[in-house]
Structure 1
Amino acid sequence: MSLLKHRAPKQQYYLEIGSYFIRKGTGYKVGDAFEYQGKKGSKQLRIANLYYNFKLNKITYKLDKNPILNRSEKK
């Protein structure tokens, strides 16, 4: 609703709608945990970010070892 209030361009509406459908269509959320079985044992990885790959026409993700909520940002 803030986009309407501030008279954002229609491209911004389309980006917001696309972002909404990517998040809802994956079935996963940023921060969800996965178990990874590697050569050295089991690790728990979390989704750090979701991307839509237009060339492959599929959703890809970036995994991270550290939980996002507990990460402290250094300045």
Structure 2
Amino acid sequence: MTLVRIILNLMISRAPLNQYYLNIGSHLLKKGAGFKVGQVVKEKHLRENIYRVSVITGLFYNFQEYKVTHTADKRIMKVDEKNR
């Protein structure tokens, strides 16, 4: 959802000011993180149509050090050439 739609929905529902701050802040954090949960970060070709991938499973925000960290899970994926 874009920031304009978030603000319009808050205005229509007559949300309190702290709800504005929470929604706008969470939107900006998601945009500034650079990653999304479920995004493939690395891939390594093992065999024909089989890859080992690292998938983001969690994002963590450290407000004292101004850092965004993530956890990744390694998985094996089989990919068809027509779907790639």
**TM-score range relative to shorter protein:** 0.5 to 0.7
Output one character per residue of 1:21-55: Cα deviation in whole Å (capped at 9) or x when no partner: 11211222222112389xxxx94221123222112
1:23 aligned to 27, 30, 34, which one? Answer: 30
Identity %: 43
Pairs within 5 Å for 1:1-75: 1-35=8-42, 43-65=52-74
TM-score, structure 2 length as denominator? 0.55
SS of residue matched to 1:15:
helix
More helix by share: 2
Identify the range of structure 1 (9-18 vs 46-55) with the bigger mean alpha-carbon deviation.
46-55
Structure 1 residues without counterparts, runs of 5 or longer: 67-75
TM-score, structure 1 length as denominator? 0.59
Corresponding residue of 1:69:
none
Shift of 1:64: 3.3
SS of residue matched to 1:21:
helix
Distance 1:64 1:13, change over 3 A: farther
Shift of 1:62: 2.8
Identify the range of structure 1 (48-57 vs 6-15) with the bigger mean alpha-carbon deviation.
48-57
Greater Rg by CA: 2
Structure 2 residues without counterparts, runs of 5 or longer: 1-7, 45-50, 76-84
Equivalent pairs, count: 62
